[in-house]
Structure 1
């Protein structure tokens, strides 16, 4: 039997009338596959809701996934410790790799928190104190890997400063949830259950549940400061399945501000879209 047939068999066996799925991009993609199989399997005409929970923050239909705020805070604490470690030496550069897949929200937000400033960094490297911290998302570039940057800095800085690699890895997945994530998780859980209860009453006919409309399978999330439900069939149109993320993300619009804070010589009239370059095939 195929995986889908086994799922249908268990839905029928246990008389499942609704699915509340908590997870990352796989959870969203899995529910989408179940919805698309409704035409073949009537048992899948049930209520489905996805609560996005992943540090990668790459689930379409929400600006924030559960755990992403905690992951950013965990990465911030690690970077602070690395900076404190660097203060014990005058000549050392750290290359820090953050998790997140193709979604670089953690690395981008950390540049605000850690006050990245390329002009200040280059001026400081001209003095007798040559310390620096370079942030890199794990999949930001196919060829400019963390190992490549390490070799580059080690070679160019030979005799001037030494270089160290720090891959945060699963450190970002540990620790107690932040107050934001705790409150956010409670709200999503309550609203998801209430929504499913209302939907079950709407589609309950002749002693059984039959839900085949698009809005019977949704992703719940925070969109523009409002908790909203987005049908997975509509989200499919704005999803990059190759890179496992939404085609547009709010934090990409912060890049212009990042350049300004880092003292890049840019035009104040420049506009940076929230669309991913690797989706539109544009260069940086």
Structure 2
């Protein structure tokens, strides 16, 4: 019989729609008491645990506002802080911890796994956690970006010949802009995985614009011309637009979607994935697992060793094939 009864849950790092589904699945598990700490890892030290009822969790599944507020941690950057987190969890009689977040959050959870059973539920709109094919919030964000691109396509049809540039999140992984660009049939997508040949890019955009149709370009925030990308950087599209305008003498219409991509009620797919991942996490902990990542692998949600986060995230091959086929991905070296 499992000795796990009191499970704590935190959300860490950037927020993502859909996580309430995972919370609901965990909260409705018989003989399990679920508690929150708001504010990520730091909240464990700074706050008392908050009990969540199954009814409250179930009623919030389709809401974009998360039941458990997220936060970024400073304590997890050093061993002394990690020790304080573990001591506080034991003081609060917590038997296991579920961490919902991205790569940094998973690394923090891994540092605690020697002292407490931990499970990581992947939550980031970027879909960039090594070891899992999907992360909660990605589908909702793709839909939000695609909707913006569809709207631009409509105004582009009304006044042909214009150049539109849309900057998205994604950091060092292009999975989010790639999926949105393919879904909405954007004309060009720029991804951080491929070196940008600025001269080729300008020539290609100018040629497509000269045909009389508007050009819609999706740009990952991680594309930088003369510096390294740092988390939180935005505005690279300004430099790209300036280069285009100076060379072609054509105006570029800019849209930086920013934090609207992380907002909104979750799609049904995100709700379903979140519920499955939450259930998988609690089942694994009750079965005695000590350090695991809940992952989507080959279409199935399963618990795998937390060491899987060491794998570098890769772009979906099927999406890349579509992007090349539709001539959206023009970033070629040389």
TM-score, normalised on structure 1? 0.73
Is the Cα contact below 8 Å between 2:161 and 2:209 reproduced in 1? no
* Pair 1:22–1:164, CA change in 2 (3 A): same
Is the Cα contact below 8 Å between 2:244 and 2:252 reproduced in 1? yes
Structure 1 segment 195-210 matched on structure 2, within 5 A: 195-199=284-288
Deviation at residue 115 of structure 1 after TM alignment: 2.5
Classify the secondary structure of the residue corresponding to 1:2.
Answer: helix
Deviation at residue 252 of structure 1 after TM alignment: 4.7
Match of 2:36 in 1: none
Match of 1:71 in 2: 141
Aligned residues between the structures: 232
For 1:115 and 1:233, locate their aligned partners in 2 and report how far apart those are by CA, in whole Å. 36
* Pair 1:4–1:258, CA change in 2 (3 A): same
Match of 2:240 in 1: 149
1:192 to 270, 275, 281: 281
* Pair 1:263–1:135, CA change in 2 (3 A): closer
* Pair 1:162–1:130, CA change in 2 (3 A): farther
Match of 2:323 in 1: 258
For 1:84 and 1:256, locate their aligned partners in 2 and report how far apart those are by CA, in whole Å. 26
Rg larger in structure: 1
Deviation at residue 25 of structure 1 after TM alignment: 1.9
Matched, 1:167 2:256: yes
Matched, 1:133 2:216: yes
Match of 1:276 in 2: none
2:300 to 214, 223, 226: 226
Is the Cα contact below 8 Å between 2:125 and 2:135 reproduced in 1? yes
Deviation at residue 261 of structure 1 after TM alignment: 2.3
Classify the secondary structure of the residue corresponding to 2:162.
Answer: strand
For 1:164 and 1:234, locate their aligned partners in 2 and report how far apart those are by CA, in whole Å. 41
Consecutive unaligned residues of structure 2, counting only runs of 5 or more, are 1-78, 189-203, 228-235
Structure 1 segment 1-284 matched on structure 2, within 5 A: 2-35=80-113, 38=114, 44=115, 46-117=116-187, 125-127=209-211, 129-143=212-226, 145-158=236-249, 161-199=250-288, 216-236=290-310, 238=311, 247-252=312-317, 254-262=319-327
Deviation at residue 94 of structure 1 after TM alignment: 1.0
Is the Cα contact below 8 Å between 2:295 and 2:302 reproduced in 1? yes
Consecutive unaligned residues of structure 1, counting only runs of 5 or more, are 39-43, 200-214, 239-246, 266-282
What RMSD, in angstroms, separates the aligned Cα atoms of the two structures? 2.8
